[in-house]
């Protein structure tokens, strides 16, 4: 594609769902209703850890207005000794996560669900369910969970030959770290902790499920993948996937947290038992207690360099809290931390630790911000020890095309160097700082993903275009797809309508996750549109009675390919569509692809902070992020991803954390005490897009959604260090902690 | 059950409701006005902001009966037929949304801001929005949208 001729790719066009969203007409999952609909409510565990002795639902069932009660007995049991992988999940754990089976594993763990004629009656009936427990000692923090005498969550999971809360490890090795450290003149080794933080989507989980008498099931829900909803619900309720139609509602944010199911299988069983459509909506408290925040972590990173500034070895150990069931993002922490750098000797280990809090779900570049926080903090100290500018140190070691990464790949064309160079050149990096102010920098990496995506491109009878893809649109992907289709077909983007199909109307498409949506679906749209253009040329050839090879498609119309083809007036999309019936019938093509060629994303951030010495408040004064975005198909929504990722990083670094009380309950399960950034906390977040197009993609797309969060924690911590001379190795740098550290520097650890 | 009566988006409405019915439940479940969203139940997120007698209010933290006799307007009542309100248009044009869940509350709060402060500064917008959470945008384009919307409302 000739870059200069792009008309729509690179334009911040108006999003197709904009009018619906600003007028309140967009339909989110909780907005859906059906005649005869009843409401489901979940009974949740009051204990952090207990064996379930008995459940008696008879009183709830007899309660006026109650139509159905569901317990773990109604959900398919996947025995613990046989893995049943589904994507990155394992159905052994999913079935135990949506409904406690042998034991309750965290406070808020679902035990049973009731459907009744009103939400209030369903909630009242839940209280009538009689539970008998054998309460067990519980453990939440990693350091406690890995002690030899810790309460064990899953007696059947072993580590080193005995039952353990360590439920998985992963190791990356490159070169020989011992030899590397032996050459080092400077070695810095530090330990770090981060707290569990929630994705914080504003829309709570919600669904409406209708199971008809013949078992045909329709699910409207808020998820990051209608096909994931279908597959998991089918497996957990023992239904064929073909009986389930999963319709993606508009989704009110996900950030990874809606890549698994909580309510859909439960509502399906309630609907099946009651014969009525069932709606379930989580409260914010349920979301905070029982849906997946990301891991808390405990890491140690050691980096060695020679006195002339060469990093010769790096080592990291990353313990991540998985929550109640195995599966923390150790791959992101251990894999991404060192991935930006060309270091000859690397050893990186990730360790998965279960404990009595809710099971983790993905959160924007899962694990990577944890890895980067540790690595980028130590790099900052190495730069200081060597008296080298921290960006210069990163530039010297920046991965580029041909660099072998410890986690496996040899990089193809990447734009990491360009992000650092742009940061060094940017006026922000040289701007003066005032009293109690500091500047920090950090870089980061995320894998990005390809995988399965489908699309259908249909020409309407009046010569316009409908594109259907299979990915819930979280951040504006429909707008980007409209640009891609308009560019390919040579028509105004407003003539392209982009829809998200349901599981019955579009081919299989994997999750909205891994920063994969535009990468993969643009490939499917490109393939489909290419077939459509071939057909359009054939139809024009038929109308002109010439060879199809003698027709080209340019600027939205069929033209004779050259003088030899003959003299004909061009035929527009509308002209050809109008004659479709006479020339061969409907015009439309689809593609179902398993895409490859996704390439890693890199970013470098500069952050300025000011510390209020009386109140301990860290205020972000200025923030500039630099990212290799491949090709910005829709720049406003690429910048939007960068700004949103940075804002989440600021929350994680400065205020957000799960606090557990003496009974192992989340003590701050709401937005009052779980303190996400509000508008007045933030400055404008400058986003500098650097375009190094991905040669393996027809539009040059690289994933852009996740890497913007990765460097932020370290950039802010490094800025605070620059301001105060104090290095916080423990997040969040909340006001009480900052005040304590100002009094006593050890409090920063 | 008691009867509650009010004006919603210019129309008189009246219904029997349980006394515990929240205004947001009344709007969403009785009147089908689902553009007003519930994000937090505890009045931090602002997805439920509507106008009650011209002033912004969090409809998740008000009983329907407290709005007895009031003039309530929701996001559905803001546009003039097919013509978007200037603040709605500003959000659409300035990419002031990603997922769009917080958007109705943001727009309703912003309109109330401009009612009390016709030409707000960036800092005034940021402080006014402390009761409206967005997790997608980092607020960058929301602030831009509101500044543009305020200007358009004067125009």
Which residues from A are below 8 Å from B79, CB to CB? 23
Q: How far is B61 from chain A (nearest CA, A)?
A: 14
Measured between CB atoms, does B45 come within 8 Å of chain A?
Answer: yes
Task: Please indicate, yes or no, whether residues A73 and A217 belong to a single structural domain of this protein.
Answer: yes
Q: How far is B68 from chain A (nearest CA, A)?
A: 23
* CATH assignment at residue A98: 3.90.1170.50
Q: Are A327 and A93 in contact (CB under 8 A)?
A: yes
Q: CA of B145: which chain A residue's CA is closest?
A: A22
Measured between CB atoms, does B19 come within 8 Å of chain A?
Answer: no
Supply the DSSP string of A433-492, one letter for each residue.
--TTEEEEEEEEEE----EEEEEEEEE-TTS-EEEEESS--SSSHHHHHHHHHHHHHTS-
Cβ within 8 Å, pair B133-A671: yes
Q: What is the DSSP letter of A174?
A: E
Which residues from B are below 8 Å from A285, CB to CB? 41
More confident residue, A2 or A87: A87
In sequence order, what are the residues at sequence separation of 6 or more whose Cβ sits closer than 8 angstroms to the Cβ of residue A630? A415, A599, A601, A691, A692, A693, A694, A697, A700, A701, A702, A703, A704
Task: Please indicate, yes or no, whether residues A528 and A584 belong to a single structural domain of this protein.
Answer: yes
Q: CA of A253: which chain B residue's CA is closest?
A: B99
Task: Please indicate, yes or no, whether residues A443 and A589 belong to a single structural domain of this protein.
Answer: no
Please provide residue A61's backbone torsions phi and psi, each rounded to the nearest 5 degrees.
-65, -35
| A625: in domain | yes
Supply the DSSP string of A318-353, one letter for each residue.
EEEEEESSS---HHHHHHHSSTTB--S-EEEEEEEE
Alpha helices in A168-240 (DSSP H): 177-182, 226-237
Cβ within 8 Å, pair A647-B138: yes
Q: How far is B72 from chain A (nearest CA, A)?
A: 15
How far apart are the two ends of chain B, measured CA to CA in Å? 47
Task: Please indicate, yes or no, whether residues A677 and A633 belong to a single structural domain of this protein.
Answer: yes
pLDDT, chain A, mean: 97
Cβ within 8 Å, pair B98-A637: yes
| A171: in domain | no
C-alpha A72/C-alpha A54 separation (Å) is 12
C-alpha A319/C-alpha A193 separation (Å) is 9
Which residues from A are below 8 Å from B74, CB to CB? 24
Residue with tokens 């902001």: B49
Query: Across the A/B interface, how many CB contacts are shorter than 8 Å?
Result: 185
Of B39, B127, B139, the CB nearest to A203: B39
**pLDDT at position A524, please?**
98
C-alpha A172/C-alpha A507 separation (Å) is 36
Of B32, B76, B139, the CB nearest to A679: B139
**pLDDT at position A418, please?**
98
C-alpha A606/C-alpha A741 separation (Å) is 24
Pairing of strands A601-611, B3-8: unpaired
Task: Please indicate, yes or no, whether residues A475 and A441 belong to a single structural domain of this protein.
Answer: no
C-alpha B115/C-alpha B113 separation (Å) is 5
| A649: in domain | yes
Task: Please indicate, yes or no, whether residues A375 and A463 belong to a single structural domain of this protein.
Answer: no
Number of structural domains, chain A? Answer: 3
Of B79, B95, B133, the CB nearest to A676: B133
Which of A24, A279, A638 is the best substitution to test chain B (most B C-beta atoms within 10 A)?
A: A24
Please provide residue A405's backbone torsions phi and psi, each rounded to the nearest 5 degrees.
-90, 150
**pLDDT at position A633, please?**
98
Give the angle subtended at the CA of A721 by the CAs of A716 and A727, to the nearest 5°: 100
Measured between CB atoms, does A253 come within 8 Å of chain B?
Answer: yes
A356-364 average pLDDT score:
98
Give the angle subtended at the CA of A146 by the CAs of A143 and A149, to the nearest 5°: 110
* CATH assignment at residue A666: 3.30.365.10
Which residues from A are below 8 Å from B107, CB to CB? 22
Which residues from B are below 8 Å from A474, CB to CB? 98-99, 136
**pLDDT at position A565, please?**
86
The residue among A302, A416, A629, A398 whose CA lies nearest residue A390 is: A398
Task: Please indicate, yes or no, whether residues A11 and A69 belong to a single structural domain of this protein.
Answer: no
Which residues from A are below 8 Å from B126, CB to CB? 679-680, 682
B48-61 average pLDDT score:
97
H/E stretch holding B118: none
pLDDT in tens, A342-357: 999 999 999 999 999 9
Residue A643 in this model has a pLDDT that exceeds 90: yes
Q: Are A719 and A607 in contact (CB under 8 A)?
A: yes
Domain limits, CATH 1.10.150.120, in chain B: 86-154
The residue among A153, A158, A180, A177 whose CA lies nearest residue A169 is: A158
What does the H/E/C string look like for chain B? CCEEEEEECCEEEEEECCCCCEHHHHHHHHCCCCCCCCCCCCCCCCCCEEEECCEEEEHHHCEHHHHCCCEEECHHHCCECCECCHHHHHHHHCCCCCCCCCHHHHHHHHHHHHHHCCCCCHHHHHHHHHHCCCCCCCCHHHHHHHHHHHHHHHC
C-alpha A66/C-alpha A409 separation (Å) is 56
Residue A31 in this model has a pLDDT that exceeds 70: yes
Q: A54: exposed, middle or buried (C-beta count within 10 Å: 0-12, 13-18, 19+)?
A: exposed
Cβ within 8 Å, pair B133-A648: no
Cβ within 8 Å, pair A646-B40: no
- Final residue of a domain: which of A273, A290, A307? A290
Which of B45, B138, B139 is the best substitution to test chain A (most A C-beta atoms within 10 A)?
A: B138
Six-digit token string for A550 = 């003698």
Other residues' Cβ atoms within 10 Å of the Cβ of residue B23: 27
Which residues from B are below 8 Å from A281, CB to CB? 38
The residue among B39, B42, B75, B38 whose CA lies nearest residue B56 is: B75
Of A202, A283, A644, the CB nearest to B102: A202
Six-digit token string for A699 = 């539009």
A177-181 average pLDDT score:
98
Cβ within 8 Å, pair A24-B34: yes
A112-135 average pLDDT score:
98
- Final residue of a domain: which of A572, A595, A618? A595
**pLDDT at position A2, please?**
43
Portion 200-219 of A in contact with B at CB < 8 A = 200-204
Instruction: Look up the ipTM and state it.
Output: 0.98
Residue B47 in this model has a pLDDT that exceeds 60: yes
Q: How far is A63 from chain B (nearest CA, A)?
A: 19
Cβ within 8 Å, pair B75-A24: yes
Cβ within 8 Å, pair A201-B20: no
Percent of chain A having pLDDT more than 90? 98
C-alpha A368/C-alpha A448 separation (Å) is 12
- Final residue of a domain: which of A561, A595, A629? A595
**pLDDT at position A562, please?**
86
| A82: in domain | yes
A112-A113-A114-A118 Cα dihedral, nearest 10 degrees: 140
A97-112 average pLDDT score:
98
The answer regarding whether domain B86-154 maps to CATH 1.10.150.120 reads yes
Q: Quick one: pLDDT band at residue A526, thresholds 50, 70, 90?
A: very high
Which residues from B are below 8 Å from A15, CB to CB? 92, 95, 97
**pTM above threshold 0.95:** yes
Task: Please indicate, yes or no, whether residues A8 and A95 belong to a single structural domain of this protein.
Answer: no
Measured between CB atoms, does A185 come within 8 Å of chain B?
Answer: no
Portion 90-129 of B in contact with A at CB < 8 A = 91-93, 95, 97-104, 107, 122-123, 125-127, 129
User: B3-77 has which CATH code?
Assistant: 3.10.20.30
Cβ within 8 Å, pair B97-A18: yes
What does the H/E/C string look like for B17-30? CCCCCEHHHHHHHH
Residue with tokens 């699910």: A219
Q: Is A619 helix (H, G, I), strand (E, B) or coil?
A: strand
Task: Please indicate, yes or no, whether residues A211 and A100 belong to a single structural domain of this protein.
Answer: yes
C-alpha A136/C-alpha A103 separation (Å) is 9
* Length in residues, chain A: 749
Portion 14-73 of A in contact with B at CB < 8 A = 14-15, 17-28, 30-31, 33
Of B76, B133, B138, the CB nearest to A685: B138
Domain enclosing residue A18, as ranges: 3-25+450-595
Measured between CB atoms, does B58 come within 8 Å of chain A?
Answer: no
C-alpha A204/C-alpha A31 separation (Å) is 12
Task: Please indicate, yes or no, whether residues A529 and A590 belong to a single structural domain of this protein.
Answer: yes
Task: Please indicate, yes or no, whether residues A370 and A393 belong to a single structural domain of this protein.
Answer: yes
C-alpha A604/C-alpha A421 separation (Å) is 10
Task: Please indicate, yes or no, whether residues A123 and A224 belong to a single structural domain of this protein.
Answer: yes
Radius of gyration, CA atoms only, chain A: 27
The residue among A455, A465, A491, A459 whose CA lies nearest residue A583 is: A459
Q: Quick one: pLDDT band at residue A1, thresholds 50, 70, 90?
A: very low
């Amino acid at each position: 594609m000739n870059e200069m001729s792009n008309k729509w790719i690179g334009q911040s066009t108006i999003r197709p769902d904009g009018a619906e969203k600003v007028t309140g007409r967009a339909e989110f999952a909780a907005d859906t209703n059906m005649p005869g609909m009843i409401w489901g409510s979940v009974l949740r565990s009051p204990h952090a850890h207990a064996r379930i002795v008995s459940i008696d639902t008879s009183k709830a069932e007899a309660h006026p207005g109650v139509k159905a009660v569901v317990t773990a007995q109604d959900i398919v049991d996947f025995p613990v000794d046989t893995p049943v992988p589904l994507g990155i999940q394992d159905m052994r754990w999913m079935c135990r996560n949506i409904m406690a089976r042998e034991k309750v594993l965290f406070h808020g763990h679902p035990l049973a669900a009731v459907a009744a004629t009103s939400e209030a009656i369903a909630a009242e009936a839940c209280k009538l369910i009689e539970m008998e427990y054998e309460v067990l000692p519980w453990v939440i923090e990693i350091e406690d969970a890995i002690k030899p005498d810790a309460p064990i969550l899953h007696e059947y999971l072993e580590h080193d030959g005995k039952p353990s809360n360590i439920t998985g490890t992963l190791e990356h090795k490159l070169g020989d770290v011992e030899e590397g450290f032996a050459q080092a003149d400077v070695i810095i080794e530090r330990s770090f902790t981060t707290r569990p933080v929630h994705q914080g989507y504003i829309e709570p989980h919600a669904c409406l499920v209708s199971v008809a008498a013949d078992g045909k099931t329709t699910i409207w829900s808020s998820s990051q993948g209608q096909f994931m909803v279908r597959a998991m619900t089918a497996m957990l309720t023992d239904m064929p996937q073909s009986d389930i139609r999963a319709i993606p509602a508009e989704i009110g944010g996900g950030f990874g947290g809606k890549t698994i199911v909580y309510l859909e299988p439960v509502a399906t069983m309630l609907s099946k038992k009651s014969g009525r459509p069932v709606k379930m909506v989580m409260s914010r408290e349920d979301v905070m207690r029982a849906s997946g925040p990301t891991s808390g972590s405990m890491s140690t990173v050691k980096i060695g360099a020679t006195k002339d500034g060469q990093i010769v070895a790096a080592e990291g150990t990353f313990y991540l809290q998985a929550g109640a069931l195995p599966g923390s993002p150790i791959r992101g922490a251990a894999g991404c931390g060192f991935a930006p750098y060309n270091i000859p000797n690397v050893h990186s280990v990730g360790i998965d630790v279960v404990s009595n809090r809710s099971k983790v779900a993905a959160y924007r570049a899962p694990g990577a911000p944890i890895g980067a926080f540790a690595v980028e903090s130590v790099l900052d100290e190495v730069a200081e020890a060597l008296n080298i500018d921290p960006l210069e140190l990163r530039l010297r070691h920046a991965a580029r095309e041909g660099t072998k990464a410890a986690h496996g790949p040899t990089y193809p064309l990447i734009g990491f160097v360009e992000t650092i160079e742009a940061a060094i050149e940017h006026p922000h990096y040289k701007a003066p700082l005032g009293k109690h102010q500091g500047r920090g920098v950090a870089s980061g990496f995320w894998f990005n993903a390809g995988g399965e995506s489908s699309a259908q491109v249909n020409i309407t009878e009046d010569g316009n275009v409908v594109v259907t893809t299979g990915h819930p649109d979280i951040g504006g992907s429909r707008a980007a797809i409209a640009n891609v289709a308009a560019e390919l077909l040579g028509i105004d983007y407003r003539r392209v309508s982009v829809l998200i199909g349901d599981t019955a109307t579009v081919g299989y498409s994997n999750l909205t996750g891994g920063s994969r949506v535009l990468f993969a679906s643009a490939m499917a749209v490109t393939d489909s549109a290419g077939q459509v253009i071939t057909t359009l040329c054939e139809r024009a050839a038929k109308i002109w009675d010439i060879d199809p090879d003698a027709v080209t498609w340019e600027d939205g119309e069929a033209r004779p390919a050259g003088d030899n083809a003959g003299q004909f007036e061009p035929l527009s999309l509308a002209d050809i569509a109008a004659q479709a019936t006479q020339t061969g019938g409907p015009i439309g093509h689809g593609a179902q692809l398993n895409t490859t060629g996704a390439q890693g994303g890199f970013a470098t951030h500069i952050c300025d902070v000011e510390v209020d010495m009386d109140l301990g408040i860290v205020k972000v004064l200025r923030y500039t992020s630099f990212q290799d975005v491949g090709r910005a198909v829709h720049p406003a929504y690429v910048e939007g991803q960068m700004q949103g990722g940075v804002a989440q990083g600021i929350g994680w670094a400065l205020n957000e954390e799960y606090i557990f009380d003496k009974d192992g309950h989340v003590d701050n399960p709401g937005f009052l005490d779980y303190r996400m950034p509000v508008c007045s906390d933030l400055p404008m977040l400058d986003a500098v897009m650097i375009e190094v197009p991905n040669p393996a993609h027809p539009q040059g797309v690289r994933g852009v959604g996740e890497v913007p969060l990765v460097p932020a924690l370290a950039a802010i911590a490094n800025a605070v260090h620059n301001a105060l001379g104090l290095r916080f190795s423990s997040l969040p740098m909340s006001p009480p902690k900052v005040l304590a550290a100002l009094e006593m520097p050890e409090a920063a650890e | 059950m008691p009867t509650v009566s009010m004006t919603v988006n210019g129309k008189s409405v009246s219904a029997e409701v349980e006394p515990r019915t929240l205004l947001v439940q009344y709007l969403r479940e009785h009147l089908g006005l689902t553009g007003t969203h519930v994000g937090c139940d505890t009045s931090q997120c602002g997805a439920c902001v509507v106008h009650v007698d011209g002033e912004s209010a969090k409809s998740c933290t008000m009983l329907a009966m407290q709005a007895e006799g009031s003039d309530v307007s929701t996001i559905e009542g803001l546009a003039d037929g097919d013509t978007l309100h200037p603040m709605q248009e500003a959000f659409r044009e300035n990419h002031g949304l990603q997922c769009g869940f917080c958007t109705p509350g943001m727009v309703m709060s912003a309109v109330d801001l401009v009612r009390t402060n016709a030409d707000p500064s960036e800092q005034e917008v940021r402080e006014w929005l402390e009761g409206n959470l967005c997790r997608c945008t980092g607020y960058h384009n929301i602030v831009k949208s509101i500044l543009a919307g305020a200007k358009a409302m004067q125009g």
